[in-house]
Amino acid sequence: MGLPWYRVHTVVLNDPGRLISVHIMHTALVAGWAGSMALYELAVFDPSDPVLDPMWRQGMFVIPFMTRLGITNSWGGWSITGGTITNPGIWSYEGVAGAHIVFSGLCFLAAIWHWVYWDLEIFSMDVQENLLWIAQIFGIHYFSQGWLALVLGRISCNRIVWSWNMGIRSLWTNWKGTIRKSSVVWKLLLLLELCGMVQQPPIELFGPTRYQWDQGYFQQEIYRRVGAGLAENQSLSEAWSKIPEKLAFYDYIGNNPAKGGLFRAGSMDNGDGIAVGWLGHPIFRDKEGRELFVRRMPTFFETFPVVLVDGDGIVRADVPFRRAESKYSVEQVGVTVEFYGGELNGVSYSDPATVKKYARRAQLGEIFELDRATLKSDGVFRSSPRGWFTFGHASLLCSSSSDTFGMVLEPCSGMFLPVLTQIWMLKWNLEHSKNGDPTTRRQVV
């Protein structure tokens, strides 16, 4: 990856217009993809149930970022927070997507213009070599983007980057290679930051993290609320009934992005199905009345033994692999289950087959009814957009790490170029040849 990067940049580096053109075209491609992808996601997105079927369960990738910036309404008459609206305004989901497509077209035209009119008068003749005032070029464009972001009322880091380019980097303009070296370093730092940012986006837009499942974050919060309810003399049924369905849904392993795998295409709904409702919290007890807890499945296990322990962590029951050697089977221990909260509130089962069924499901956290027929879901977990965000930027970081070639090359050129320039002054002053351009200076043989 480093060699093509270097080869292309040596071609356009001495052509100011074409250097700008290729970067504008890259912006056009990114903006066009973002707008087109947003329109596609809006076409397939179902906003009817923001609690049990949110955008991250449906595999939306662009809509969460738009929502994070404050876009909540659609021209279709719905709001991401639920309910209907009558006047979504221009800056709805569709409006922002259309603006990106229009912006992409304008960037495409600008790229063509800069490619044709490549010989611009933006050289600095203060030094012996011809140098681009790259800091000012980037500064002007970042200033324009920052001002546009300010007018639209959005917080943008472009204003900070503009200040950086107009201030600090302008001091480096006449230093050989510093602009390019700093660009490569900033690119790598940005990718590292994006890989780390995956833990920061809100869970309502990107879903929970795997660490919240590993650490039992939502389980502890649920138990804290139930304990607070019991302290207020509420019954178990009343305390569990006050647990929000959204909070219970977060405490389900199917929403763990690390359970999906990176090579299973499709949304979470295409895996375990569309969540319909919370069945309630199962509480297991043996024939002696002890409350038993099902040991939950760790993140990176596909199968896990069904083990029920008491409050002290002592194994009291299980679903054995070999029934002939079992000592703690559900039948032998006499385990029963009773639900609190949810759709099965107050319902109890003593049938061993039913008890074992719910014990297996309790391994996966809170128990939900899942519709696998609508989307023909295959029952295999999928990852959330949070997982794809991490995977995509980590892959880009790995491919861009070959820019180390450029980072090594630039300091070397900075050290040895002055020496070579003194020896081969005429050769180093020649431009890269452009076929078909009669204005290109050529060496006379």
pTM: 0.76
Residue 417 lies in a domain: no
415 compared with 52, residue with greater pLDDT: 52
Nearest to 274 by CA among 254, 256, 253: 254
Kindly state whether residues 316 and 197 are assigned to the same domain: no
Bridge partners, residue 337, by sequence: 284, 349
Domain boundary, last residue among 155, 184, 201: 201
Kindly state whether residues 196 and 212 are assigned to the same domain: no
Please name the residues in contact with 113: beta carbons below 8 A apart, sequence gap of 6 or more: none
Residue 112 lies in a domain: yes
Residue 364 lies in a domain: yes
Tens-place pLDDT, residues 241-261: 999 999 999 999 999 999 987
The interaxial angle of helices 385-400 and 178-197, nearest 10 deg, is 150
Domain encompassing residue 29: 2-133+173-201
Q: Is the pLDDT of residue 1 over 50?
A: no
Nearest to 264 by CA among 254, 249, 275, 277: 254
Q: Give the Cα separation of 133 and 166 in Å (integer).
A: 10
The tally of domains found in the chain comes to: 2
Segment among 74-78, 136-140, 188-192 with least mean pLDDT: 188-192
Kindly state whether residues 215 and 342 are assigned to the same domain: yes
Please name the residues in contact with 103: beta carbons below 8 A apart, sequence gap of 6 or more: 31, 35
Q: Is the pLDDT of residue 407 over 70?
A: no
Q: Is the pLDDT of residue 230 over 90?
A: yes
Kindly state whether residues 126 and 69 are assigned to the same domain: yes
266 compared with 177, residue with greater pLDDT: 266
pLDDT of residue 439: 64
Kindly state whether residues 183 and 229 are assigned to the same domain: no
In 108-248, which ranges are E strands? 123-124, 131-132
Say how many C-beta atoms besides its own lie within 10 A of residue 233's C-beta. 7
Tell me the C-alpha to C-alpha distance, in Å, between residue 220 and each of 159, 351, 413, 421, 425: 42, 29, 57, 68, 71
Residue 237 lies in a domain: yes
**82: pLDDT confidence band, cut at 50, 70 and 90?**
confident
Domain boundary, last residue among 340, 355, 383: 383
Residue 143 lies in a domain: no
Strand 367-371 versus strand 315-318 pairing type: unpaired
Residue 414 lies in a domain: no
pLDDT of residue 142: 61
Among 70-74, 113-117, 357-361, the range with the most confident prediction by mean pLDDT is: 357-361
Kindly state whether residues 235 and 375 are assigned to the same domain: yes
Unique residue bearing structure tokens 């647990």: 243
Mean pLDDT of 31-58: 95
Nearest to 259 by CA among 296, 302, 305: 302
Percentage of residues in the chain having pLDDT higher than 70: 68
Kindly state whether residues 195 and 234 are assigned to the same domain: no
Rounded to the nearest 5 degrees, what angle is found at the Cα of 409, between the Cα atoms of 403 and 411? 115
Kindly state whether residues 185 and 226 are assigned to the same domain: no
Kindly state whether residues 187 and 269 are assigned to the same domain: no
Please name the residues in contact with 186: beta carbons below 8 A apart, sequence gap of 6 or more: none
DSSP letters along 279-296, please? Answer: EEEEEEE-TT--EEEEPP
Domain boundary, last residue among 185, 201, 217: 201
Kindly state whether residues 72 and 194 are assigned to the same domain: yes
pLDDT of residue 428: 45
Residue 161 lies in a domain: no
pLDDT of residue 159: 45
Tens-place pLDDT, residues 428-440: 454 555 555 666 6
Residue 435 lies in a domain: no
Q: Is the pLDDT of residue 119 over 80?
A: no
Say how many C-beta atoms besides its own lie within 10 A of residue 109's C-beta. 11
> Phi/psi of residue 292, each to 5°?
-115, 150
Number of H helices, E strands in the chain: 17, 9
Mean pLDDT of 412-440: 54
383 compared with 192, residue with greater pLDDT: 383
Tens-place pLDDT, residues 388-403: 888 887 777 676 655 5
Tokens of 190: 């940005």
Say how many C-beta atoms besides its own lie within 10 A of residue 197's C-beta. 12
Tens-place pLDDT, residues 152-178: 544 444 444 444 444 444 444 444 455
Q: Give the Cα separation of 223 and 281 in Å (integer).
A: 11
Q: Give the Cα separation of 365 and 381 in Å (integer).
A: 14
Q: Are the CB atoms for 193 and 397 separated by under 8 Å?
A: no
Kindly state whether residues 248 and 325 are assigned to the same domain: yes
Mean pLDDT of 124-140: 56
Kindly state whether residues 180 and 228 are assigned to the same domain: no
Q: Give the Cα separation of 209 and 299 in Å (integer).
A: 11
CATH code, domain carrying 249:
3.10.680.10
